[in-house]
Structure 1
Amino acid sequence: MSAEKIKLTVTHTYRAPPSVVYDSWLNPAIARRFLFATDDGHVIRAEIDAHVGGRFLVVDRRPTGDACHSGIFLELHRPKRMVFSFSVEEHDHCTDRVQIDFEQLGSGCRLTLTHEMCSEWAAHEEKTRQGWAHVMEGLEREVDQIDRLAS
């Protein structure tokens, strides 16, 4: 296996402040509605132990079988950055690194996600990018709902 990594970046802008977006990512009750959730699946398990060294596990039940996403939090600097290892259970020999930076933009924020993945998954780079974009769109729906409830 090559030690080379592929680095992909996805950004998304939110109307909510960084603290709301950051906290939503780490709240299991909210995260289960967007984190690794697919349109044809259903998240059956979302566990998030949000501290450095803490683990997360999200299981999405899909027509093709359960997809288990897990990792360990490596850095948590609320509300500016989180970094975690990331793997999909059946491919856990190849642990990726995901860094998420939150930048204040007026009353909202920009989230920049950088995913360093093993080069053996090069053929899946665009699908991975689209997957993260889908996660970010789902997160936007959740934080918009939080904002509406707070108003």
Structure 2
Amino acid sequence: MNDTAYTELVMVREFKVSPEKLFDAWIDPVMMRKWLMSMEATNKSASSDPRVGGLWEIIDVRGGKEYRAVGRYLEIDRPIKLVFTFQMPQFSEFEDTITVNIKATEEGCKMVFTQHIRVPVEENWTDEDTRRAVEEFHDSSQHGWHYMFVGLKMLAEEGITPVMPPASE
């Protein structure tokens, strides 16, 4: 790897819950284990130290293999803003930065999720190779977060813990 490209993923979701309840789903390890990464059935553990500089971790087990997602909290302004790093060390040494902004609405709250994604670029790649890699990182991240947000909505609004990967909306 010689270089890095960047892309930004922005997703907006509406929830019929208070900003506090949604915010807590991002930092409470009991809640995190139920929706973040996959679901409670495959998430082996979740931990969170919700303070600036504190660490969080999810260990998901699929097909007998452990997948770790880790990071540290950079900014916490409950219930309106959360900024943290996100890394899956088994796949990349790079950390992304995620910002979750939550705004109260008449029916609950609106979440604006922004992920600043670092994309590894090989030395011999053409501009087209880089463009394709950036697009693939963006689209695969969007796909994964979409499914997690379906589970987050079920959990936050209905108290339902996803027991299998939710279907596309």
Structure-2-length-normalised TM-score: 0.79
| Whole-angstrom CA distance in 1 between matches of 2:51 and 2:102 | 18
Q: 4+ residue stretches of structure 1 with deviation over 3 A?
A: none
> Is 2:13 aligned against 1:12?
yes
Counterpart for residue 130 of structure 1: 143
- CA-CA distance at 1:95 after TM superposition: 0.8
| Whole-angstrom CA distance in 2 between matches of 1:2 and 1:140 | 37
| Whole-angstrom CA distance in 1 between matches of 2:111 and 2:64 | 31
Alignment map for 1:1-150 (pairs within 5 Å): 1-37=2-38, 42-63=42-63, 65-120=65-120, 122=134, 123-146=136-159
| Whole-angstrom CA distance in 2 between matches of 1:124 and 1:5 | 9
| Whole-angstrom CA distance in 1 between matches of 2:155 and 2:28 | 11
| Whole-angstrom CA distance in 1 between matches of 2:27 and 2:88 | 18
| Whole-angstrom CA distance in 1 between matches of 2:26 and 2:118 | 24
1:61-105 deviation per Cα after TM superposition (whole angstroms, max 9, x unaligned): 011621100000000000110000110021342111001100111
Amino acid of the residue matched to residue 144 of structure 1?
A: E
Maintained 8 Å contact 2:22/2:156: yes
Maintained 8 Å contact 2:119/2:137: no
Unaligned runs of 5+ in 2: 121-132, 160-169
SS of the residue 1:88 aligns to: coil
1:7-31 deviation per Cα after TM superposition (whole angstroms, max 9, x unaligned): 1111111000111100122111111
Maintained 8 Å contact 2:14/2:111: yes
Maintained 8 Å contact 2:99/2:113: yes
How many pairs are equivalent? Answer: 146
Deviates more, 1:3-12 or 1:99-108: 3-12
Counterpart for residue 127 of structure 2: none
Percent identity of the aligned residues? 21
Structure-1-length-normalised TM-score: 0.88
Unaligned runs of 5+ in 1: 147-151
